Structure 1
């Protein structure tokens, strides 16, 4: 896989992870706690969990491919737990 393909793949994972986190926080959680409908949290939560793991693994993969220093890798990994963090990473580091 070429470097361009690796970056493109990580960009997609980053965007999907960020969107899933926002859907979880802004739609699924209110449905669960306000309207007592937990079904969406179960589905979106699982999807987000898988995407989160792929994002963190992808961050280490990109760190090696793009020769990031530890500070950059740390920022990218911490961004995975911030609601808009993956979008920031996608624009700044990729």
Structure 2
């Protein structure tokens, strides 16, 4: 894995958890709006929209750089739409990056011919 690919995965990973948190907070604000006089939905909606759009841009860049299969790319997209999916995406992306580092070190040491 080259540096640009690793960077694309890292950026996507770093934005996935905050995007998931903002989604959960937006759901909480929506519930509070309907049950109390507290209305933070406009503010939280904007925050979540920015993070979601940033996730989508970084997802597209990561898909381009890593050459994921359609199934893998669709999985990461669906995880962004689910309320807690960003946490699962972050975990999977971290594992994928760690596996790539291990494979890269093995190639450098001559263990694997790739």
TM-score, normalization: structure 2?
0.72
Unmatched 5+ stretches in structure 2: 95-114
Which entry has the higher C-alpha Rg, 1 or 2? 2
SS in 1 for 2:23: helix
- Give distance in 2, aligned partners of 1:53 and 1:90: 17
- Give distance in 2, aligned partners of 1:59 and 1:72: 11
Alignment correspondent of 1:7: 9
State the Cα distance separating 1:64 from its structure 2 match.
1.4
Alignment of 1:76 with 2:76, yes or no, is yes
- Cα pair 2:22 2:44 within 8 Å, conserved: yes
Give the paired residue count: 92
- Give distance in 2, aligned partners of 1:93 and 1:63: 12
Alignment correspondent of 1:59: 59
State the Cα distance separating 1:70 from its structure 2 match.
0.7
Alignment correspondent of 2:31: 30
Unmatched 5+ stretches in structure 1: none
- Give distance in 2, aligned partners of 1:2 and 1:76: 19
TM-score, normalization: structure 1?
0.86
- Give distance in 1, aligned partners of 2:72 and 2:4: 22
Q: How large is the RMSD of aligned CA atoms in angstroms?
A: 1.6
- Give distance in 1, aligned partners of 2:76 and 2:51: 15
